Structure 1
Amino acid sequence: MRAFHRFALGAVLALAASTTACVSIDTSARDRPPSRPAQTSGLTPDRVAGVPIPDGQIDDAVAQLDDLAQQLLDRTGIPGMAVAVVHGGETVYAKGFGVRAAGSDDPVDVDTVFQLASMSKPVGATVVAQQVGDGTVGWDTPVIEHLPAFALADPYVTEQVTVGDLYAHRSGLPDHAGDELEDLGYDRTQVLERLRLLPLSPFRITYDYTNFGVTAAAQSVADAAGADWADLSRRVLYEPLGMSSTSSRFQDFTERDNRAPGHILVDGQYVAREVRDPDAQSPAGGVSSSVNDMAKWLTMLLADGQFGGRTVVDAKALQPALSPQVVSHAPGTPDARAGFYGYGFNVGTLASGRTSVGHAGAFALGVATAFTAVPSADVAIVTLTNAAPIGVPDTLNAEFVDLVQFGEIREDWAGLYKQAYSGYADPKGALVGQAPPADPARAKPLGDYTGTYGNPYFGPARIDERDGGLLLTIGPREQTYPLTHRDGDVFTFEVTGENAPDGTISTATFTPDTVTFEYWDTDGLGTFTREGTS
C-alpha cells in the first residue's frame, strides 16, 4: 500500500491540516503562561482559537456539501463516494453519491462499505488506546514484551522500541518498510521477521511512514490481549460502537453485498481491475467500513472516548494518540506551519488557530479516503471513495473545514491536491521513457545467467531460460517476470502491483555471481547471490 504519506505533499498538508499539520509546541512549565480562563471565552489561553465561529456557520457549511460533493464527482468522473459529518454528538449529514461499481446502477448509500486503506491506522490506534485504558499494555510498552520474536537491525532499538514508537513512525525503519515483501506474497509473520534486515535511521528522531511498523505494534498488543487483531478490534471497538458493517478482515469486505470495489483510471475510464487484499497489514490498512459506521467512531472521538453514555475508550489513554509525538513535516520557512504525527493520527493547527486531527488513506489499486476532525468546533467529516487517489476526499474535507472556520472556501484545494497527487500514478524506474541503446552490447549465452540466486530479505530468485529468453521467478506466489535484454549484462522487466504503477520498469544487472534488481534495491537489499558461490 502506498499510503498518503509516500509522496511529498508538504505545503498542501501544512495548509489544510487535515492530514499533516502542526500543533502548539509545549514549553516547560516555567516558561508557560499561567493556565487561567480567558476573559472573553472561558477557555484557557492554549484553547482559544484566533477566529470565532458564528452561530449557524457550521450548519451553513453542511448545507453546501451536496453541491460540493456532486461537483467533485462530476469534474473527476470517479464512480462513487460517501460523506458524513458529525457535530454536537450527532450525525448531521450522511449521503452517498454515484455508483458502487462503474457500469452498474447500484448506488452508493450511507451503508456502502469501502476499504479505508491508511485510515485504518487511527481506527486501530483507538483499539490500542482501549487496551491501554484497560491496562493490557501502555503506549510505552516495549514491543518485544509481548512479541518476543520481533527484532530490528540494532539490538538497542529492538529492546527499547515501544508500541507508541511504531505508531508514531519513529522507530528508524525506512519509508514503507516491508511493503515490497507483501507485494511478493509474504504473509504478516514472514514480513515482520524480515524487518530486522533493514537499515535503520536514527531512533526516535527520524519520521518514516511505515505500514508494517504499525502492524508489528498492533500484533504485540493483540498478543498481549490473547486475541487475533481483527477479533480484538471487533470486540473492543466495533461492537461497542454498533459498527456492524466494519471489519479488519478482508474476507468480510468481499462478502458484503453493499460494497464498493476500488477503481483505477484506464484510458480515461475508471475500471474495477483488482481488489486489494491488505490482511497482511490489517492494523495499518485493512479496515473496511461505511460512513454511517465511521460517523459513530468520530462521535466517540469527539466525545473523548464516550459513546451512548458509556466509556468506550479511556480519555487519558486516547489523548496521547491525538497529541504530537514526532515532527512529520518540518516547516520550510519561519512563517510556515509544521506537521506532526501522534500515535496513528496526524495532528495539526488550522489557519484559524484551531487544532485538528485527521488522516487519509490510499490504495493505488483504487481507494482514496480521508477524515478531518476539529475538536474545538465539535465537528468532523469523513469522505470515502472507490477510485485511485487524485485528491477528491482531501479536497472535499478541506473545503468543508474552510467553510466551518471562515464561512467561505479560501484556497484552491482542488488544484493544490491535484498537484500534490500528480505523481502518484507515475511509473518507477530509471529507464522509464528512455529509448533502448542504438547499438547495445551483446549478452552472454543465456545459460550463463540461469540458476537460483539467494537473498536473505527477499528470498530466492530463479532465472530460467524459457522460449529463447530469460524468466525471473520470485516470491512465495512464484510470480514470474519475462526479462528483456537491454545492453550487455543488463536486462529489464515490467513490474505491476500496489506499489508499482503501470509502466514501472526495473533493470536486472548481472555479474558472474550476482544479479541486482533495481526495483527491489531501494534500501540497498536488491542484490541476489548465485547459490553455490562464495
Structure 2
Amino acid sequence: MGQIGTMRRRVERATAIVVAAGLAACALSSCSAGPAPSSTVAVDTGTRPNQDVVALPTDRASAITAALTLLPSQIDEALRRSEVPGLAVAVVSHDEVLYTNGFGVRDESTGAKVDADTVFQIASLSKPISATILAKAMTQDPSLTWSTPAHTLMPGLALADPYVTQNITVGDFFAHRSGIPTGGGDDLEDLGFDRNYILSHLSEIPLQPFRTTYQYSNFGLTTGAEAVAASRGQSWEQMSKELLFGPLGMTSTSTSHADFLAAPNHAVLHARIGEDDFQPLFDRDPDAEAPAGGVSSNVRDLATWMQLLLSDGSRDGSAFINSDPLNQALSAQIVSSHAGDLDQRPGHYGFGINVGSAAGGRVTLSHSGAFGLGAATAATLVPDLDLGIVVLTNGAPVGLPEAVVQIFLDEVMYGHQSRDWVDTMHGFFAGFNAPSGDLAGQSPPTDAAASAPASDYVGTYTSAYFGTLTVTEAGGRLRGALGPTGATTFDITPWNGDTMAYVPTGENALPGSLSSVVFARSGGAVTTATLTYLNRYPQIAEPSGLGVFTRQR
C-alpha cells in the first residue's frame, strides 16, 4: 500500500490520550485525582505516531459538505476583494469529483464567462504534473529512477561544474538542488530563445552549491524532463500525451501554447496595473519551459489528475503508476525554506511538489503557479482526508488561488477560517508585482547626459550566454537589440556619463522596471557594455558576469 493510501486509512480516533493515561497512572498508584480538565483536544491516531493529527471538528463527510456549502460565496467575496477577473475551482476525493465551478470572466474586454471547462495557463502547477509523467515513465521502465544520472539519458548535458554534470540525477533537477540559480535560463526565455538554445547554454551559468542549496529553477526541472524524453526518443510534448494526458482522458490539457490559444474557451491573461486594475495586455508563450510552466488545462482535467495521486497511482481500480516512484516524488527531498525562528515550520520540496503540513499536523502536498503577466494557480492535496482542491485564475499573482485553497481547507479542518487569507496572501505576493532593476523607482538626474556622442557607443557586443547585443544610433538616440533575431529592442537613454538606462522587458520585468547599462572604456574607447538587469540573479549577491557584453566592432 502506498503512503497516501496508508494516511487515508486511519485506524482509530483517540481523544485526550494524555489525560486518560494520567488517570490510569493515578488509579494504579492510589493517588487522588485532581479536578478534571474542562476541555480536551481530540487527536486522530494513525498506525504510526507521525500520522497523528488534530481531529476534525465533526465527521469528515459533514465537514466537507459544510465547507462546500460556503465555498461559492467565499469565492465571490475573494474575487470582489482582489479584483481578479476570473476563477475556476474543483474539489475531489480519490473516487469522486465533489465540486466544479467557474466564476467571473475569462476576458475583461469581452465579458465572456468562466466555467469549469475554461482552459487556463497553469504556469508552475505544471511541475507536479511533469513529475507524475516521469513517475509513469519509471513505471514502464524500472531501470529508470529518480536517481538515474541525467547525463546517461542526455549525453550532451553540460553544466558549469564537470562534477555536477557527471553526478546530477533526474531527481536533483526536479528537487531544485542542481545549483542552477533561480532565474537561470528564464532570462534567455524572456529574450525569445528556444528550449534547445537555453539548455545548451546552462553550462555558462555559475552554480550554487550542489545538493545543499535550494534554487528554484524552471530550466533545471525542464532539463530533467527533457533527459527522460530523450532517452525514450520522444519530444516532451509526445511523451506527455502518450503517458498521461491520453490515457487519463485529459483532452483539454496540453504542453503547447498554440493548443492553448486555439481552445475556444480559454482564459486570457490579465496583468495588474496599479493596485486593483487587471487588464488583458499580454500573451505569455512558455513553450521553452513546457515541463516547468507550459501546461494549459481546465479544472475538470486537473480533477482527474488529483484523483490519480489520491489513489496512489491507481486508475479505475487498476495500477496505472507504480507507487514507489510516485511516493518518492511526493515525499520531502530538500528543505526549500529554512525557519526564520524556532517557532516556525520549515518548508520542504519533493520532486516537483511542495511537501508540508497544516496547522493541525496533516500532511499537505501543494504547488502554486504564476505568470507576472497575468496568471495565478494553486492546488493542494490532503492525503489523510482523501481531499484535493485546485484553483485557476487569469489575473497576475496577488495570492487569490492560495487564499481560496486555504479558506476551504480551514473550513474542513477547523470549522472556521483561521485568519484573513485574502489579506495574508495578498501581502505575501506583494513583491511579485513589483518592478525590477537597479534604477526602478528613480528619476534620471536633471542634468542627465552621456560622456560622449552617441556614435561612441554604437557597435556589436557579444556575451557567451546572451549572444549579440547590437547598439545603433538614430538622430542622436541610442537603441539596443537582443535575442536570437534581435527582436527585443529598447531605448538606451542618458543617465550619468557612461552609465545609461533602459527598460528591461519580459515576464520578470513588470511595468515600472528600469535598469542601467554601464559602458566601460579602455584607452578611451568603449570596450564593454554591462546590462545590470541581466548580470545578476535575484537570490545571489554577486554579479553573474553573464550580462557583460564585449565589443566586437
What is the TM-score with the length of structure 2 in the denominator?
Answer: 0.87
> Is contact 1:120–1:286 with CA below 8 Å preserved after alignment?
yes
Query: Which position in structure 1 is the counterpart of 2:263?
Result: 256
**Does 2:433 match 1:419?**
no
Query: How far apart are 1:50 and its partner, in Å?
Result: 2.6
**Distance (whole Å) between structure 2 residues aligned to residue 442 and residue 424 of structure 1:** 33
Query: Which position in structure 2 is the counterpart of 1:132?
Result: 138
**Distance (whole Å) between structure 2 residues aligned to residue 37 and residue 68 of structure 1:** 33
Query: How far apart are 1:372 and its partner, in Å?
Result: 0.6
**Does 2:409 match 1:409?**
no
Query: Which position in structure 2 is the counterpart of 1:29?
Result: none
Work out which of the residue numbers 421, 436, 439 in structure 2 matches 1:428: 436
Query: Which position in structure 1 is the counterpart of 2:395?
Result: 387
Work out which of the residue numbers 515, 520, 525 in structure 1 matches 2:529: 515
**Does 2:515 match 1:494?**
no
> Is contact 2:272–2:433 with CA below 8 Å preserved after alignment?
no
Work out which of the residue numbers 49, 54, 57 in structure 2 matches 1:50: 54
Q: Secondary structure at the match of 1:368?
A: strand
> Is contact 1:51–1:353 with CA below 8 Å preserved after alignment?
no
**Does 2:286 match 1:286?**
no
**Does 2:549 match 1:528?**
yes
Query: How far apart are 1:413 and its partner, in Å?
Result: 1.2
Report which structure shows greater RCO (CA 8 Å, sep ≥6). 1
**Does 2:526 match 1:505?**
no
**Distance (whole Å) between structure 1 residues aligned to residue 241 and residue 449 of structure 2:** 59
**Distance (whole Å) between structure 1 residues aligned to residue 433 and residue 505 of structure 2:** 11
| CA shift digits 1:241-282 (9 cap, x unpaired) | 111111111111111011111111336532211221100000
Q: How does 1:215-230 map to 2 (within 5 A)?
A: 215-230=222-237
Query: Which position in structure 1 is the counterpart of 2:524?
Result: none
| Matching residue's letter, 1:47 | Q
Q: How does 1:139-288 map to 2 (within 5 A)?
A: 139-266=146-273, 268-288=276-296
Query: How far apart are 1:368 and its partner, in Å?
Result: 0.3
| Matching residue's letter, 2:499 | V
Query: How far apart are 1:37 and its partner, in Å?
Result: 7.0
Query: Which position in structure 2 is the counterpart of 1:26?
Result: none
Identity of aligned residues (%): 43
| Matching residue's letter, 2:63 | Q
**Does 2:92 match 1:89?**
no
**Does 2:383 match 1:375?**
yes
Work out which of the residue numbers 335, 341, 349 in structure 1 matches 2:349: 341
Work out which of the residue numbers 65, 75, 82 in structure 2 matches 1:76: 82
**Does 2:491 match 1:482?**
yes
> Is contact 1:493–1:505 with CA below 8 Å preserved after alignment?
yes
Q: How does 1:88-127 map to 2 (within 5 A)?
A: 88-127=94-133
**Does 2:357 match 1:329?**
no
**Distance (whole Å) between structure 2 residues aligned to residue 420 and residue 166 of structure 1:** 26
> Is contact 1:240–1:312 with CA below 8 Å preserved after alignment?
no
Work out which of the residue numbers 447, 472, 476 in structure 2 matches 1:468: 476
- Number of aligned residues: 498
Larger mean CA deviation between 417-426 and 159-168 belongs to 417-426
Query: How far apart are 1:292 and its partner, in Å?
Result: 0.6
**Distance (whole Å) between structure 2 residues aligned to residue 42 and residue 499 of structure 1:** 45
> Is contact 2:157–2:200 with CA below 8 Å preserved after alignment?
yes
Larger mean CA deviation between 375-384 and 36-45 belongs to 36-45
**Distance (whole Å) between structure 2 residues aligned to residue 505 and residue 74 of structure 1:** 32
Query: How far apart are 1:367 and its partner, in Å?
Result: 0.4
> Is contact 1:230–1:249 with CA below 8 Å preserved after alignment?
yes
> Is contact 1:118–1:284 with CA below 8 Å preserved after alignment?
yes
Larger mean CA deviation between 440-449 and 106-115 belongs to 440-449
Query: How far apart are 1:475 and its partner, in Å?
Result: 1.0
| Matching residue's letter, 2:489 | T
Larger mean CA deviation between 441-450 and 470-479 belongs to 441-450
| Matching residue's letter, 2:208 | S
Q: Structure 1 residues 265 and 51 mapped into 2: Cα distance closer, same or farther (>3 Å)?
A: same
| CA shift digits 1:76-106 (9 cap, x unpaired) | 2221110010025211010000111113232
Q: Secondary structure at the match of 1:424?
A: helix
> Is contact 1:49–1:354 with CA below 8 Å preserved after alignment?
yes
> Is contact 1:324–1:340 with CA below 8 Å preserved after alignment?
yes
Q: Structure 1 residues 110 and 39 mapped into 2: Cα distance closer, same or farther (>3 Å)?
A: closer
Q: For structure 1, which runs of at least 5 residues remain unmatched after alignment? A: 1-22, 24-35
Work out which of the residue numbers 55, 60, 67 in structure 1 matches 2:66: 60
Q: Secondary structure at the match of 2:364?
A: strand
**Does 2:294 match 1:302?**
no
Query: Which position in structure 2 is the counterpart of 1:20?
Result: none
**Distance (whole Å) between structure 1 residues aligned to residue 13 and residue 431 of structure 2:** 49
> Is contact 2:302–2:390 with CA below 8 Å preserved after alignment?
yes
Q: Structure 1 residues 64 and 157 mapped into 2: Cα distance closer, same or farther (>3 Å)?
A: same
> Is contact 1:37–1:45 with CA below 8 Å preserved after alignment?
no
**Does 2:477 match 1:456?**
no
| CA shift digits 1:401-422 (9 cap, x unpaired) | 1111111101121111111111
Query: How far apart are 1:53 and its partner, in Å?
Result: 5.3
Q: Secondary structure at the match of 2:411?
A: helix
Q: Structure 1 residues 390 and 124 mapped into 2: Cα distance closer, same or farther (>3 Å)?
A: same
Query: Which position in structure 2 is the counterpart of 1:16?
Result: none
**Distance (whole Å) between structure 1 residues aligned to residue 125 and residue 343 of structure 2:** 29
> Is contact 1:264–1:270 with CA below 8 Å preserved after alignment?
yes
Q: Structure 1 residues 434 and 42 mapped into 2: Cα distance closer, same or farther (>3 Å)?
A: closer
**Does 2:458 match 1:437?**
no
| Matching residue's letter, 1:82 | A
